[in-house]
């Protein structure tokens, strides 16, 4: 069972990027914890971060034929702008969970709308890095691998 975790632009800066908003864990630390959870459940975790919309679209398209069963995605700023990422997720028709570290609804108005949420299995926001872990546990559970 393979889970793909996608991180959008600027999330490579986690740890030092606005820590009061996004926490102090680095992306590598978050990904390592997710890998441990997946491995313990007998699943495979693939992670991918890009600052480029097209690279994220390409990675989503590749997920259709690489064995991915579910996608966890923090599209970061593309959440609020990207019809292309929405269309890619709709196109591959894989279930996905949308995650945001911060509570986007408590922030600027332009962050309140997501181009993805109505297609997502679920959305977690405002729980920091724990949101990724909860999303992964749900994905593993719903796919029947425990965790
Ligand atoms: C974010 C929220 C977005 O509005 C922002 O552009 C990000 C990160 C979050 O994880 O809270 O880069 O997706």
Calculate how far, in angstroms, residue 56's C-alpha sits from the geometric centre of ligand 1: 15
ipTM value of the model?
Answer: 0.99
Whether 52 is in a domain gets the answer: yes
- Which of 3-12, 15-24, 32-41, 107-116 is the least confident region? 15-24
Q: What is the CATH number of the domain that holds 86?
A: 3.40.50.9100
Whether 49 is in a domain gets the answer: yes
Order the strands of the 44-49 sheet from edge to edge.
44-49, 2-7, 68-74, 96-100, 122-125
Q: Phi first, then psi: what are they for 30, rounded to 5°?
A: -60, -50
Atom of ligand 1 nearest to the CA of 74: 13
- 74: which 2 tokens? 């923090």
pLDDT tens for 42-94 read 999 999 999 999 999 999 999 999 999 999 999 999 999 999 999 999 999 99
Q: Are 95 and 1 in contact (CB under 8 A)?
A: no
DSSP state of 43: -
Residue nearest ligand 1's atom 8 by CA: 76
Whether 132 is in a domain gets the answer: yes
Q: Give the residue numbers annotated as catalytic, written as ranges.
A: 22, 100
127 is in an annotated binding site: no
Residue nearest ligand 1's atom 13 by CA: 76
Calculate how far, in angstroms, residue 33's C-alpha sits from the geometric centre of ligand 1: 20
- 89: which 2 tokens? 């997720």
DSSP state of 51: S
Residue 75 domain boundaries: 2-142
- 26: which 2 tokens? 């680095």
Output the ligand 1 site: residues, CB below 6 A: 10, 74, 76-77, 79, 100-102, 104, 111
Whether 68 is in a domain gets the answer: yes
pTM of this structure: 0.96
Please provide the size of the chain in residues. Answer: 147
The secondary structure of 92-121, three-state, reads HCCCEEEEECCCHHHCCHHHCCCCCHHHCC
What total number of domains does the chain contain? 1
Whether 147 is in a domain gets the answer: no
């Amino acid at each position: 069972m393979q889970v793909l975790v996608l991180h959008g632009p600027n999330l490579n800066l986690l740890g030092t990027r606005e820590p009061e908003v996004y926490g102090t864990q680095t992306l590598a630390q978050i990904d390592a914890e997710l890998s441990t959870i997946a491995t313990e459940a007998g699943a495979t975790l693939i992670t991918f971060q890009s600052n480029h919309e097209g690279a994220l679209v390409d990675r989503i398209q590749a997920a259709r034929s690489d064995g991915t069963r579910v996608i966890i995605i923090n599209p970061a700023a593309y959440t609020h702008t990207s019809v292309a990422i929405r269309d890619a997720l709709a196109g591959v028709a894989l279930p996905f969970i949308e995650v945001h570290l911060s509570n986007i609804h408590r922030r600027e108005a332009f962050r309140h709308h997501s181009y993805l949420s109505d297609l997502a299995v679920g959305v977690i926001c405002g729980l920091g890095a724990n949101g990724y872990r909860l999303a992964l546990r749900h994905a593993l559970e719903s796919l029947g691998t425990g965790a």
